[in-house]
């Protein structure tokens, strides 16, 4: 068994996974997440703010210490949508290098493939659609995990995410007005209808839509009034389209301060959850899905499998190899 640490720096959340991997499976993954809002303002300015970078570096410094304390053999560090979009991402990368990491801004195809790899551990042999509803984008992958490994039919990144939609449409009124909400929903609808791969609609018709990310896990937590959060309850829980629409309407009607008090909702996520719910709702409609399945086996699981293979000198499970930093 190999213990590895994986750090994923997204548009809204920075996450640490310390995983035990054996026989090509993640046996255990201890997750820690921190809302750092790295992508705040990027949709409008094209730049990462100094304050957001400092929040991330402070968080990751603690993650590196935690990984060492947990006995991880090696660590990898990846960045996604916000770092891909920002013209000054190199400044953040330099700060991560100073923490003895080898950060990699991964392309959308790699992010989609790794997320699919993580999710598909629970759906071996099934054709599924995996969607990662992030802060800056939504990654959609269609394929199957079989005996020969991952077989992907399509991977697409769409610039629809809860942070991006909030910054563009929902940050000027509290609570957002009907016109702003409709503009936000129309933006999501148009992007998904125009850019969603046709394979996704075909696969959902005969299979399953599986979603990962903080928006869908939070929607389950709110619907069930989870306090504290229970990942075992959330994992493989189904959400109907009508439930998502009801939650979106309920949350949109609350001012930010009251949203922060909702059971199951992290206060720091209150500012983007309305946009997140709209994104998920319109994705489901574009796919023709009346329900989705929520998974906790996400990008961190795929990264863990890739990092373990690299640490042990084994064949990569996808067409990408992480750069590892020794933790011992």
Average of per-residue pLDDT values in the chain: 95
212 shares a domain with 157: yes
Is a pLDDT exceeding 80 seen at residue 310? Answer: yes
**Average pLDDT of 222-244?**
97
Q: Are residues 231 and 136 in the same domain?
A: yes
Do 143 and 276 reside in the same domain of the chain? yes
If asked whether residues 273 and 167 sit together in one domain, one would say: yes
- What pLDDT does 21 receive? 96
**Mean pLDDT to the nearest integer, 267-296:** 97
CATH number where 151 lies: 3.30.420.150
pLDDT digits over 272-282, tens only? 999 999 999 99
Q: What is the pLDDT of residue 149?
A: 84
Distance CA 157, CA 108 (A): 6
- If asked whether residues 123 and 271 sit together in one domain, one would say yes
State whether 118 and 99 are in the same domain. Answer: no
Domain that holds residue 238: 110-294
Q: Quickly state the pLDDT bin for 191 (edges 50, 70, 90).
A: very high
Residue 94 shares a structural domain with residue 119: no
**Does 87 lie in the same domain as 231?**
no
Of 81-85, 202-206, 212-216, minimum mean pLDDT range: 202-206
Which pLDDT value is given to residue 155? 94
Based on the fold, state whether residues 290 and 145 are members of the same structural domain. yes
DSSP 4-33: EEEEEE-SSEEEEEEEEEETTEEEEEEEEE
- The answer, yes or no, to whether residue 120 has pLDDT greater than 80, is yes
pLDDT digits (tens, 9 = 90+) for 246-268: 999 999 999 999 999 999 999 99
Distances (CA, A) of 125 to 49, 103, 151, 265, 278: 44, 33, 10, 34, 31
For 131-160, what is the mean pLDDT? 92
Into how many domains does the chain fold? 2
* Band of residue 295 on the pLDDT scale cut at 50, 70, 90: very high
Same domain, 14 and 162: no
Are 89 and 41 found together in one domain?
yes
Classified as helix, coil or strand, 140 is strand
Burial (CB < 10 A; 0-12, 13-18, 19+), residue 242, is: exposed
328 band by pLDDT with thresholds 50, 70 and 90:
confident
Categorize the per-residue pLDDT at 271 as very low, low, confident or very high, splitting at 50, 70 and 90. very high
Span 3-28, average pLDDT: 95
Coil, strand or helix at 40: coil
> Residue 197: what pLDDT?
92
Give me the CATH number covering residue 65.
3.30.420.40
Pair (101, 117) in one structural domain: no
**How confident is the model over 309-320, as a mean pLDDT?**
92
| pLDDT score recorded for residue 230 | 96
Burial-class residue 128 by CB neighbours within 10 Å (0-12, 13-18, 19+): buried
Question: What is the pLDDT averaged over residues 123-147?
Answer: 93
């Amino acid at each position: 068994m190999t213990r590895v640490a994986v750090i994923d720096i997204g548009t809204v959340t920075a996450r640490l996974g310390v995983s035990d991997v054996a026989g090509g499976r993640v046996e255990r993954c201890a997750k820690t997440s921190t809302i750092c809002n790295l992508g705040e303002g990027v949709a409008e300015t094209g730049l990462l703010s100094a304050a957001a970078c400092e929040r991330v570096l402070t968080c990751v410094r603690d993650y590196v210490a935690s990984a060492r304390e947990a006995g991880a053999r090696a660590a990898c560090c990846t960045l996604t949508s916000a770092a891909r979009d920002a013209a000054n991402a190199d400044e953040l990368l330099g700060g991560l290098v100073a923490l003895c990491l080898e950060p990699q801004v991964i392309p959308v195809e790699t992010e989609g493939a790794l997320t699919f790899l993580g999710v598909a551990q629970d759906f071996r042999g099934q054709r599924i659609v995996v969607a990662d509803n992030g802060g800056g984008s939504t990654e959609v992958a269609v394929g199957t995990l079989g005996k020969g490994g991952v077989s992907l039919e399509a991977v697409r990144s769409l610039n629809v995410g809860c942070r991006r939609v909030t910054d563009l449409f929902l940050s000027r009124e509290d609570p957002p007005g009907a016109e702003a909400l409709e503009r936000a929903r129309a933006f999501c609808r148009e992007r998904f209808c125009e850019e969603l791969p046709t394979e996704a609609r075909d696969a959902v018709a005969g299979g399953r839509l599986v979603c990962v990310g903080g928006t869908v896990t939070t929607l389950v937590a709110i619907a069930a009034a989870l306090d504290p959060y229970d990942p075992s309850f959330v994992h493989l829980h189904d959400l109907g389209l009508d439930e998502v629409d009801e939650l979106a309407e309920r949350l949109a009607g609350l001012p930010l301060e009251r949203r922060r008090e909702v059971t199951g909702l992290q206060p720091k996520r209150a500012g983007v959850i309305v946009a997140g719910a709209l994104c998920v709702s319109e994705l489901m409609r574009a796919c023709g899905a009346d329900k989705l399945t929520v998974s906790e086996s996400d990008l961190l699981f795929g990264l863990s499998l890739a990092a373990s293979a690299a640490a042990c000198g084994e064949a990569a499970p996808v067409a990408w190899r992480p750069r590892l930093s020794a933790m011992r």
